Amino acid sequence: MNMFLYNTKTQRKEQFFPQDPSKVTMYVCGPTVYSYAHIGNARPAVIFDVLARLLRREFPSLVYVRNITDIDDKINAAAADQGVSIADITTTYTRAYHEDLEALGVLAPDVEPRVTNHIPQIIAMIEALLQAGNAYEEQHHVLFDVPSFIDYGELSHRKREDMLAGARVEVAPYKHDAADFVLWKPSSEELPGWDSPWGRGRPGWHIECSTMAEAHLGDTIDIHGGGHDLIFPHHENENAQSVCAHHGVPFCRYWVHNGLITVDGEKMAKSVGNILLVRDLLTQAPGEAIRLALLSAHYHGPLDWTEEGVLQARRSLDRLYQALRDMHDVPVVDSLQRDIPDTFLDCLRDDLNTPKALAVLFGLAHEAHTAVDKAQRSRIKNDLLAAGDLLGLLQQDPEVWFGGADAGLDTARIERLIEEREAARIAKDFETADRIRDMLLKQGVILEDVADGTRWRVAS
RNA sequence: GGCUGGGUGGCAGAGUGGUUAUGCAGCGGCCUGCAAAGCCGUGAACGUCGGUUCGAUUCCGUCCCCAGCCUCCA
């Protein structure tokens, strides 16, 4: 059970040893709910979902926390923009986030804390930082005193001097040091705020994750995940806060970051106008195909999102489901006792190498088409389903996959035409038979004549 | 300017100090009334320049290119 993860902090792949093997802890930065989830939000959700599934299998228990950030100036701006309440915005987009992730086969985390439910704890942590001498109050703000934390920059591998060189932000007058960041800031009348020892205000950006991690997982967590863009400043600051609030106790043992998504080779950004919403992608391809597309590249590297990539993912699933379809009458062992082959598990244990794991899946599909032995076929089907389940794939009925689920097809009509064609074939009227087949093909329905009759599928 | 990740065959994408995954696409064959699916076979790659080595795509260094971060973006 050797597991390895690339640790951003040490910049190398390390063997994973949880602090307490009986209870692994993982915290992943969730969304700020001010708009619909885009494909870049979906990538970490899917990746850490796979990691969570793997950890649950490899260790007796896992506590997986993925937060919802429901206090943020972008939320306030969206509310003002749309003329609705802040609660309306966060409720709407939290629900949308859940719907989108569910469509991608992402399981719910064990805990999904919200910032608004942790204000007292946030205030307590800020007080702890003030007491420890790592924070100061200035003009109704409370700021983290970066120079007071000697290890600052350790995670993102930056030196403070270097950071100042290219800084594109002006230093606020209430900061003692340019690198200091806000823990608490004052709220005006119309903005959401809570009473605190420093007046009515709201938390800064980073403190909520430190607080929620502490509240649900303790002082030291095993794995902290998120997008590559969060390494600095978010995680660097989170680490500084937590370590200082806990008097030097390490905050996180393994920092795991996923690469970012580009769209047709270009950065995905509002300014470029190429933000792809999960919601919109789901109208173009099944959620399972989008999930596979996200897992088809190693999590650590960049992923270029293209229509061709989604199409390839659909075809990959066609191939895998084709194998399952051919084994529709092959029995499998009870799902609770499913064994997953080590060849497959080892791929994931090695820094979550999903592309390599997928290759094992294709190998199984190939075996399925060549094996004749009954017991062997049963084993193959079992492996395919069990391994697929760990990736959150292949759990549909193949008929549903090939039926194009919501393609809005008249199934009865297709079946009738297939019967007509069959009659024509028996009568050796191949002209009619081919005409029917071509007609269906034009409508995106492909016919396959197999041993026990004619079956159909929707073209990818 | 600093920091980080990446540059592999037509495309996507793993991996390895020497016999070069996997999927899609291509080519030849089998199967089929013909197809489709599947099977069998097959061509094709490691950004640049150096170094280490018997041998490097794989290790080290240089350079080039791409992407991201550098205070509220997953």
ipTM of the shown complex: 0.91
Confirm if A384 and A364 have CB atoms less than 8 A apart.
yes
User: Which one, of A252, A284, A242, A266, lies nearest residue A103 by Cα?
Assistant: A284
| Whether A241 CB is under 7 Å from strand B | no
Q: What is the pLDDT of residues A344-398, one digit of tens each?
A: 999 999 999 999 999 999 999 999 999 989 999 999 999 999 999 999 999 999 9
Choose between A71 and A452: higher pLDDT: A71
Q: Are residues A178 and A312 in the same domain?
A: no
**Could you tell me the distance in Å between the CA of residue A296 and the C1' of nucleotide B53?**
35
Q: Are residues A451 and A389 in the same domain?
A: no
Q: Which nucleotides of B are covered by protein (CB under 7 A)?
A: 1-7, 11-15, 21-25, 32-40, 66-74
Q: Are residues A441 and A371 in the same domain?
A: no
**Sheet hosting strand A181-186, strand order edge to edge:** A135-138, A141-144, A181-186, A201-203
pLDDT of the residue at A168? 47
Look at residue A252 and give its three-state secondary structure: strand
- Cβ atoms within 10 Å of A24's Cβ, excluding its own: 23
Angle CA(A62)–CA(A20)–CA(A125) in degrees, nearest 5? 80
Q: Are residues A379 and A351 in the same domain?
A: yes
| Whether A240 CB is under 7 Å from strand B | no
Query: Strand B: which of residues 318-347 in chain A lie with Cβ below 7 A?
Result: 318-319, 322, 326
**Could you tell me the distance in Å between the CA of residue A309 and the C1' of nucleotide B10?**
15
pLDDT at residue A38 greater than cutoff 60: yes
Domain span at A450 = 411-458
Q: Are residues A191 and A269 in the same domain?
A: no
Q: Mark A310-337 as b/e (b = at least 16 C-beta within 10 Å).
A: bebbbebbbebbbbbbbbeebebeeeee
Q: What is the pLDDT of residues A407-459, one digit of tens each?
A: 567 888 999 999 999 999 999 999 999 999 999 999 889 999 998 889 999 98
Q: Are residues A96 and A235 in the same domain?
A: yes
Q: Are residues A186 and A276 in the same domain?
A: no
End-of-domain residue from the set A383, A402, A421: A402
Choose between A271 and A140: higher pLDDT: A140
Confirm if A31 and A68 have CB atoms less than 8 A apart.
yes
pLDDT at residue A57 greater than cutoff 80: yes
Q: Are residues A194 and A229 in the same domain?
A: yes
* d(C-alpha A368, C-alpha A284), whole Å: 30
- For residue A48, give every residue at least 6 positions away whose Cβ sits within 8 Å of its Cβ, in sequence order, or none: A26, A28, A64, A66, A225, A256
pLDDT of the residue at A106? 96
**Could you tell me the distance in Å between the CA of residue A449 and the C1' of nucleotide B40?**
21
- The string of DSSP letters for A365-424 reads HHHHHH---HHHHHHHHHHHHHHHHHHT-S-S-HHHHHTTTTS---HHHHHHHHHHHHHH
List beta partners, residue A227. A258
**Could you tell me the distance in Å between the CA of residue A441 and the C1' of nucleotide B52?**
59
Query: Strand B: which of residues 260-289 in chain A lie with Cβ below 7 A?
Result: 260-262, 265-269
- The string of DSSP letters for A149-165 reads -TTTTTTTT--HHHHHH
pLDDT of the residue at A391? 96
* d(C-alpha A367, C-alpha A326), whole Å: 12
Mean of per-residue pLDDT scores for chain A: 91
Q: Are residues A310 and A422 in the same domain?
A: no
**Could you tell me the distance in Å between the CA of residue A28 and the C1' of nucleotide B68?**
19
Nucleotide nearest to A428 (CA to C1'): B33
pLDDT at residue A104 greater than cutoff 90: yes
**Nearest residue (CA) to C1' of B14:** A356
pLDDT of the residue at A199? 93
Nucleotide nearest to A360 (CA to C1'): B22
- Bond from prior residue into A233 cis (ω within 30 degrees of 0): yes
Give the per-residue SS3 of A218-236. CCCEEEEEEEHHHHHHHHH
Q: What is the mean pLDDT of residues A13-18?
A: 92
Q: Cα–Cα distances in Å, from A316 out to A105, A266, A322, A361?
A: 17, 25, 10, 10
pLDDT of the residue at A166? 45
Q: Cα–Cα distances in Å, from A133 out to A198, A246, A290, A317?
A: 16, 12, 48, 56
Query: Strand B: which of residues 79-138 in chain A lie with Cβ below 7 A?
Result: none
H or E stretch covering A66:
strand A62-66
CATH code assigned at A80: 3.40.50.620
pLDDT at residue A335 greater than cutoff 70: no
Query: For residue A149, which phi and psi values (nearest 5 degrees)?
Result: -110, 105
Query: Strand B: which of residues 397-436 in chain A lie with Cβ below 7 A?
Result: 425, 430, 433-434
| CA A244 to chain centroid | 30
Q: Are residues A240 and A282 in the same domain?
A: no
The amino acid at residue A173 is P
pLDDT at residue A185 greater than cutoff 60: yes
Q: Which of A249-253, A291-295, A448-452 has the lowest mean pLDDT?
A: A448-452
| Whether A239 CB is under 7 Å from strand B | no
Choose between A176 and A220: higher pLDDT: A220
Q: What is the pLDDT of residues A136-174, one digit of tens each?
A: 999 899 999 999 999 998 898 887 766 654 444 556 788
Q: What is the mean pLDDT of residues A121-132?
A: 96
pLDDT of the residue at A167? 47
* d(C-alpha A143, C-alpha A185), whole Å: 9
- For residue A274, give every residue at least 6 positions away whose Cβ sits within 8 Å of its Cβ, in sequence order, or none: A263, A264, A266, A268
Virtual torsion, Cα A338, A222, A231, A209, nearest 10 deg: 100
Q: What is the mean pLDDT of residues A41-47?
A: 94
Q: Are residues A81 and A135 in the same domain?
A: yes
End-of-domain residue from the set A191, A224, A258: A258
End-of-domain residue from the set A258, A277, A307: A258
CATH code assigned at A289: 1.20.120.640
pLDDT at residue A249 greater than cutoff 80: yes
| Whether A36 CB is under 7 Å from strand B | no
**Nearest residue (CA) to C1' of B36:** A448
In chain A, the number of structural domains is: 3
Q: Are residues A77 and A163 in the same domain?
A: yes
**Could you tell me the distance in Å between the CA of residue A392 and the C1' of nucleotide B8?**
28
- The string of DSSP letters for A186-204 reads E--TTS--B--TT-SEEE-
| Whether A18 CB is under 7 Å from strand B | no
Query: Strand B: which of residues 177-206 in chain A lie with Cβ below 7 A?
Result: 178-182, 185, 204-205
- Confidence at A2, pLDDT banded by 50, 70, 90: confident
